[in-house]
Amino acid sequence: MRLLTFRSEDGARLGMLRDEQEVVELSEPPDMLSLIDSGEEGLELVNSAFSAGKGKVHKLGDLRVLAPPPGRNYQAHAEESARASGKTVDPPTVFTKAVTSVAGPYDDVVIDDAVTTQVDWEVELGVVIGRAGANIARERALDHVFGFVVVNDVSARDIQFGWGGQYFKGKSLDGFCPIGPWIVTPDELTDTRSLRLRLRVNGDSKQEGNTRDMIYPVDAVIEWVSKGMTLPAGTIIATGTPDGVGFARTPPEFLKPGDVVEAEVEGIGTLRNRFVSGGK
């Protein structure tokens, strides 16, 4: 299944993608978080309604697609980050992003140059937790997965590195986390350990990677993040980015107003966000 949240004239709605260009509107559950909370029963209900042809059909192009629900983990990226900062490779870093950083898959992202002038990109595979849990054993970790999304972990590097190591602040500016374009359920991805990740800026390739290069695969990430901490249903874990980020290039490269960034994960889809000038 490819499940998405969209806005129509009736407000935010839950839908399922059909034939790449059509969306079937689902009347129940009322939203994505309710569907995630309902577990297998909810997915069976959705699949049954879809198979029976129930639900209003929309053209994908007529809808505004929203974000589906309201640490370094690649060796090459870990090494390029270490070189750029003059340090050795550290163990995996776990950090959070504020919910106010979430943006839709095709939304504009605002750069406020009074706050940051070093805006960077990071394409990542995102894991959506479906069943809450703490201290999840690796061998059971995938049982807790509802689905997968694409994440662009947009980062203000001058804040992240120049304000005393502010990962949370540097990665949590408003709109700095485009997500989507939909949630793909595990049955559609045969092997998350071999997915291509790509990122382009204005059509130029900046990142080319594969999840096979992860230091810690998805099940190990879930085990690590859940140690001593409950992961509620609906939690999104971004699992790290390949090499090719802007700050580690020679010379460094950063996004500017007018740039268009496409972040893609094989088997899931592509985010396309224009970066625009703005401030508050």
pLDDT tens per residue, range 23-33: 999 988 888 98
Give me the residue label for tokens 């490779």.
89
Distance between CA atoms of 166 and 174, rounded to whole angstroms?
15
123 pLDDT exceeds 70? yes
**For position 272, what pLDDT does the model report?**
98
* Whole-number pLDDT of residue 190: 78
Q: Report d(CA 125, CA 39) in Å as an integer.
A: 22
Q: How confident is the model at residue 77 (pLDDT cuts 50, 70, 90)?
A: very low
Element (H, E) at 263: strand 260-265
Cα(65)–Cα(1) distance, rounded to whole angstroms?
A: 16
Mean pLDDT lowest among 58-72, 75-89, 186-200, 221-235: 75-89
pLDDT tens digits, residue range 135-188?
A: 999 999 999 999 999 999 999 999 998 877 788 899 999 999 999 999 999 999
Name the burial class of residue 186, with classes exposed (0-12), middle (13-18) and buried (19+) by CB atoms within 10 angstroms of its CB: middle
Q: Tell me: pLDDT of 89 over 70.
A: no
Residues in CB range of 208: below 8 A, 6 or more apart: 196, 197, 198, 242, 244
Model pLDDT, residue 87:
59
Mean pLDDT for 102-121 is: 96
What digits encode the pLDDT tens for the residues 97-106?
999 999 999 9
Q: Which residue has the higher pLDDT, 88 or 34?
A: 34
Rounded Cα gap, residues 276 and 261, in angstroms: 11
What is the token pair recorded at 120? Answer: 């960077």
The residue among 239, 275, 246 whose CA lies nearest residue 94 is 239
| β-strands 269-277, 109-111 pairing | parallel
Closest to 148 measured CA to CA, from 184, 194, 192, 193: 184
pTM here is: 0.89
Q: Which class for 38: exposed (0-12), middle (13-18), buried (19 or more C-beta within 10 A)? A: middle
pLDDT of residue 219: 93
Lowest mean per-residue pLDDT among 83-87, 108-112, 140-144, 194-198: 83-87
Give CA–CA dist 273/258, Å, rounded.
10
10 Å Cβ neighbour count for 51?
8
**Residue 204 is encoded by which pair of tokens?**
């130029």
Question: Between the ranges 77-86, 94-103, 154-163, 196-205, where is the mean pLDDT highest?
Answer: 196-205
pLDDT-based confidence at 70, cuts 50/70/90?
Answer: low
Kindly state the average pLDDT of the residues 189-193.
87
> Residue 72 above 50 pLDDT?
no
Average pLDDT, the chain: 89
Q: What pLDDT was estimated at residue 84?
A: 60
Nearest Cα residue to 67 out of 103, 101, 39, 35: 103
pLDDT recorded at residue 85: 57
DSSP codes joined into one string, 76-118: HHHHHHHHHHT-PPPSP------GGGEE-TT--EEE-TTT-S-
Residue type, 19: D
pLDDT top residue among 273 and 48: 273
Length of the chain: 280
Position 48 pLDDT exceeds 50 = yes
Q: How far is Cα 193 from Cα 229, in angstroms, rounded to an integer?
A: 25
Q: Which of 215, 208, 222, 225 is nearest to 193 (CA)?
A: 215
Share in percent of the chain as helix, strand, coil (round to 5): 25, 35, 40
pLDDT at 90: 54
